[in-house]
Amino acid sequence: MSNVLVLVDHTDNPGGTVRKTTAELLTIARRLGEPVAVFIGSDVQAALPALGQYGATKVIALSNPELSQYLVAPKAEALQQVAAKVEPSAILISSNAEGKEIAARLAVKLDSGLITDAVDVQAGDGGPVTTQSVFAGNFTVQAKVTHGTPIITVKPNAATPEVAETSPEVEEFDVTISDAAKTARITDSKPREATGRPELTEAAIIVSGGRGTGGDFGPVEAFADSLGAAVGASRAAVDSGWYPHAYQVGQTGKTVSPQLYVAAGISGAIQHRAGMQTSKTIVAINKDPEAPIFELVDFGVVGDLHKVLPTATEEVTKRKS
Amino acid sequence: MKIVVCAKFVPDATADRRFRSEDNTVDRAGVDGLLSELDEYAVETALTVKEAGDAEVTVLTVGPEQAADAVKKGLQMGADAGVHVLDDAIHGSDAVATSLILAKALAKLEADLVVFGMGSTDGGMGVVPAMVSERLGLPAVTLGSEVTVDGQTVRIRRDGDTASETIEGTLPLVLSVSDQANEPRYPSFKGIMAAKKKPVETWSLADLELTPDEVGGSSAWTEVVEVTARPPRSAGTIVTDEDGSGAAELVGFLSTNKFL
């Protein structure tokens, strides 16, 4: 069977917790061939159990400290060198900002086609066939790479992780990083404060607040916590300085596709809809019955979120206890 | 300093966007287009850098006839010159091929600072800045929400998924900015009049020493196999919270659908 490279997406904390997206990538990789995980970081041992649980047949470990100091160019160089050795039939990378940038550079280096933001990947006769959702979710596109090694970035929740225990061997891999790849560097990095809530792009439930919050995200956060949900924000709320940009849902923020999306005080501008329209179930609470968001909803409440959410939070908490 | 803004002409996001049935490419005919909203932040960044020092700003676009409008908008905002790469053979180019055309044009323009928006509002891949940087062998600082240019040093701040970072690189360099970077200016009447006199060059593939078989649909390294329009959503239930019952109905819906 051919090798399929999976770039491991993990946190930077000591131990490097493997993200759920990696389990999804490994699950997809098994449909296409033998998953070979590439771990860039200092503590591959901590990641091994998670990688073995989802079927990595081999783990290639790259621990060169320069790989994390200089943004993505060195990581793309490293992957190019790994690909030259492994000769994979496809390369899967998480569809986040860094992942897409690595994939972009790799596509040029390997003279290969690139597909980003796949929401599904299946094996086809001539290689992997991807599914993407485009134009604000109004179209579904199936595509394939026709030249070189297919490089595919995959969105969170594109597959349900399937356990397939393996005991992967670890192979340390030495990379050579060119000076040219070290020309942009991180001079300062402040980790984002932990909220204790699920990550926005991975969460099964998201509660987002918009202009209608009037700047008070308290009711949105409380309702999210009662549901074990992540909190998101519309661009209007972010531009008003009410919530950090990292939580913005929409075309220019994060695109999300949870099981349940609750839009509170969000009118539903096209840019916001582009970021959440593929959510399985959509609920909205808005004072304005004409708000375009109501065109999308499975359930809508025309009302003031400041009244509806606190009561709903109380009720959910009561039912859960 | 020579600043080049790479600007894309895209179908209006509020219009009825669709695909051409014959080749599964974006149907640009009959759909209003405009300068990608996200590229306005790039133009604004370039103009701000120019106003702080000595620079010339060129707007570069690759696209069909109508794409000249993207250049025009940049000139109206205050850019000094425009370049439109126009060639029938370009139709159907994917990101990899587009990055090749841009890289050739940027080399010809001898750009010191290349500014991109964070992504296009149609394709939305957000990969072209990194591809161009790779092709030109230049450093890239991407997704800047704050940008400062200090002599030869470009510094950005950005909010990543896990951290807020400061990133630094030296000119020549490729920069991309997010929609948090600034507030793009509206063209003034004076700007609109002045734009008519600004030089715009049209380049063909031959001007860039590229051949038709290096770009376009025939050499795209990805192929769209199938396009399906999403079936319209069936109308949902909407209740009005007149007597405070909205919350109970909401929780009832969540419970029925097993979200509790």
CATH 3.40.50.1220 fits A205-320, yes or no: yes
Compute the mean pLDDT over every residue in chain A, rounded to the nearest whole number.
Answer: 93
Q: What is the pLDDT of residue B143?
A: 94
Q: What is the pLDDT of residue A202?
A: 83
Would you say residue A14 has pLDDT above 70? Answer: no
**What pLDDT band is residue A182 in, cutting at 50, 70 and 90?**
confident
More confident residue, A1 or A10: A10
Nearest to B259 among A115, A144, A205 (CB): A205
Q: Which residues of chain B does A11 touch, with a Cβ-Cβ cutoff of 8 Å?
A: 162
CA separation (Å) from A6 to A111, A219, B148? 19, 40, 36
More confident residue, A157 or B257: B257
**What residue spans define the domains of chain B?**
2-219
Chain A nearest C-alpha distance from B198 (Å): 31
Would you say residue A81 has pLDDT above 90? Answer: yes
**For residue range A100-123, what is the model confidence (pLDDT) as tens digits?**
999 999 999 999 999 999 999 999
Chain B nearest C-alpha distance from A18 (Å): 14
Q: What is the pLDDT of residue A104?
A: 97
Q: What is the pLDDT of residue B159?
A: 83
Chain B contacts in chain A segment 275-314 (CB below 8 A): 281-283, 285, 289, 294-304, 307-309, 311-312
Whether A132 has its CB under 8 Å from any CB of chain B: the answer is no
Q: Which residue of B has its CA nearest to A270?
A: B14
Would you say residue A201 has pLDDT above 90? Answer: no
Q: Which residues of chain A does B97 touch, with a Cβ-Cβ cutoff of 8 Å?
A: none
Q: What is the pLDDT of residue A295?
A: 92
**For residue range B223-253, what is the model confidence (pLDDT) as tens digits?**
899 999 888 777 899 999 988 899 999 999 9
CA separation (Å) from B212 to A89, A166, A232, B66, B220? 29, 48, 45, 20, 12
A80 is in an annotated binding site: no
Would you say residue B102 has pLDDT above 80? Answer: yes
| Unique residue bearing structure tokens 């001539």 | A126
Q: Which residue of A has its CA nearest to B236?
A: A298
Q: Which residues of chain B does A137 touch, with a Cβ-Cβ cutoff of 8 Å?
A: 230
Location of each CATH 3.40.50.1220 domain in chain A: 205-320
pTM attached to this predicted model: 0.92
CB contacts < 8 A (A, B):
256
Query: Does A109 contact B134 at a Cβ distance shorter than 8 Å?
Result: yes
**For residue range A136-169, what is the model confidence (pLDDT) as tens digits?**
778 899 999 999 999 999 998 899 999 999 999 9
**For residue range A261-291, what is the model confidence (pLDDT) as tens digits?**
999 999 999 889 989 988 999 999 999 999 9
Whether A101 has its CB under 8 Å from any CB of chain B: the answer is yes
Q: What is the pLDDT of residue B163?
A: 83
Domain A3-182 adopts which CATH fold?
A: Rossmann fold (3.40.50)
ipTM of the complex, rounded to two decimals: 0.92
Would you say residue B26 has pLDDT above 90? Answer: no
Would you say residue B218 has pLDDT above 80? Answer: no
Query: Does A108 contact B94 at a Cβ distance shorter than 8 Å?
Result: no
Whether A98 has its CB under 8 Å from any CB of chain B: the answer is yes
Chain A contacts in chain B segment 89-118 (CB below 8 A): 94-96, 99, 118
Q: Which residues of chain B does A114 touch, with a Cβ-Cβ cutoff of 8 Å?
A: 95-96, 125, 127, 221-222
Would you say residue A15 has pLDDT above 70? Answer: no
Whether A71 has its CB under 8 Å from any CB of chain B: the answer is yes
Chain B contacts in chain A segment 111-130 (CB below 8 A): 112-117, 129
Q: Choose, out of B243, B253, B254, B256, the residue to mutate when testing the contact with A (most A CBs < 10 Å).
A: B254
The span from the CA of A179 to the CA of B178, in Å, is 27
**What pLDDT band is residue A70 in, cutting at 50, 70 and 90?**
confident
HEC states along chain A?
A: CCEEEEECCECCCCCCCECHHHHHHHHHHHHHCEEEEEEECCCHHHHHHHHHHCCCCEEEEECCCHHHHCCCHHHHHHHHHHHHHHCCCEEEEECCHHHHHHHHHHHHHHCCCEEEEECEEEEECCEEEEEEEECCCCEEEEEEECCCCCEEEECCCCCCCCCCCCCCEEEECCCCCCHHHHCEEEEEEEECCCCCCCCCCCCCEEEEECHHHCCCCHHHHHHHHHHCCEEEECHHHHHCCCCCHHHEECCCCECCCCCEEEEECCCCCHHHHHHHCCCCEEEEEECCCCCHHHHCCCEEEECCHHHHHHHHHHHHHHHHC
Q: Choose, out of B16, B153, B165, B259, the residue to mutate when testing the contact with A (most A CBs < 10 Å).
A: B259
For residue B124, give both structure tokens. 């939305």
Chain B nearest C-alpha distance from A281 (Å): 9
* Domain B2-219, CATH: 3.40.50.620
Chain A nearest C-alpha distance from B177 (Å): 11
**For residue range B56-87, what is the model confidence (pLDDT) as tens digits?**
999 999 999 999 999 999 999 999 999 999 99
Mean pLDDT of A26-35: 97
